[in-house]
Amino acid sequence: MSLIDAMVKPPPLTDLQKARLGILEPGLRAAVYSADYKRAKAVAADIQSVLRSTGHETRLMRSKTWLFEAALNAGELLTAEAGFRGIRAKTAMSTKVHLEATALLVVCLLRQKKISEAEPLIEKVLKGKTIKDAARRRQFIENVTARYQLESYISAVKDCAYETLIPDAVDADAIEAVKTKTDEELYAQIASALPREVLEFVYRVDRAARKQLTMVEILYLPSPVHTQQKIEQGRSFFASLKLVIWKSLCDPQSEIYKAWYTNGMAQVLSKKYYAIVVSAALVDLGFAVKAVAVPATALLMKLGIEVYCERYKPGEILDVRDGKA
């Protein structure tokens, strides 16, 4: 029995508590999207002062999940891992909070390439019966498996290649690619540059997920043959980059977003911001490959910041909060 299970049901929230939480909880979720762990800690401490005195532990654990998701997004992997393990220990397996903490713990482990530790937890996430509504469960399965695929790409490419990336050269080649190549050709170019061991890691994570699902549930996912096609591999890798570049491009406080919002796309292009962001992200990952940087930059140029920021918002990949899945 968990600590929360052992407690008496708390009293209804007071109007004052509701008012404070109406401000604090959205603030904490905003810190998740902006990967601002320092801010998240301050807000979470305020939420704890509101909830703990009246024994609202389940809602407090939900805020802790957001706190450690902010740590995860900020790259504080060991802190996030310890936090999600703590939440799992304090919550009942039948709760959505426990499910989300488990799902995000898998993300922590994948980012550390601890796939053997992640596999049994993937089973718990996908075989659990917390979400009983058929439509919501289907959406949950689609969301979680998609998230794990993206995480597996980002994890697998770490420390695979160290070419010298010069943003000016990447930008010039990307402009030419925009003029001469289709999206499909750009995705195929990315896929061709992915090492075999990267694809094998992605397939292993995919298999770990599929074997937990029923025959009907497997039909919710793209065919394995489909996901092995080069264009789809490139498309998936490009999508995975949102996990490392979305904040730089789309955070309203970022230099690039401000430049676009204030002066329009012309200044973003003239400053070579896309090439700079992509090159920096690939270098940080340890996957500095010009054959990836150029088509990824070209695809960003084609999309534009406004479309990219809306279509690739990371925070919407995994969402089982407030009854959603």
Query: Which pLDDT tens digit goes with each residue over 107-125?
Result: 999 999 999 999 999 999 9
Which residues lie below 8 Å from residue 205, measured CB to CB, with a gap of 6+? Answer: 110, 115, 118, 122, 148, 149, 151, 152
Q: Rounded to whole angstroms, what are the CA distances from 199 to 66, 90, 155?
A: 31, 36, 11
Give yes or no for residue 166 having a pLDDT over 90.
yes
Q: Please, which residues bridge with residue 288 across strands?
A: 162
For residues 12 and 54, the answer to whether their CB atoms sit within 8 Å is no
% of the chain at pLDDT higher than 90? 71
Residue 232 has what pLDDT?
A: 94
Between CA 277 and CA 268 the distance in angstroms is: 11
15-130 CATH, one of 1.25.40, 1.20.1740, 1.20.1070, 3.30.70: 1.25.40
% of the chain at pLDDT higher than 70? 94
Here the tokens at position 235 are 């498309």
**What average pLDDT does range 291-311 have in this prediction?**
94
Nearest to 302 by CA among 221, 200, 181, 190: 181
Q: Please, which residues bridge with residue 162 across strands?
A: 288
Residue 315 has what pLDDT?
A: 58
Q: Please, which residues bridge with residue 161 across strands?
A: 287
Residue 266 has what pLDDT?
A: 78
Query: Which pLDDT tens digit goes with each residue over 199-244?
Result: 999 999 999 999 999 889 998 888 876 777 999 999 999 999 999 9
Domain ranges of the chain: 15-130, 156-314
Give yes or no for residue 59 having a pLDDT over 50.
yes
Q: Rounded to whole angstroms, what are the CA distances from 289 to 67, 117, 156, 228, 284?
A: 34, 30, 14, 21, 12
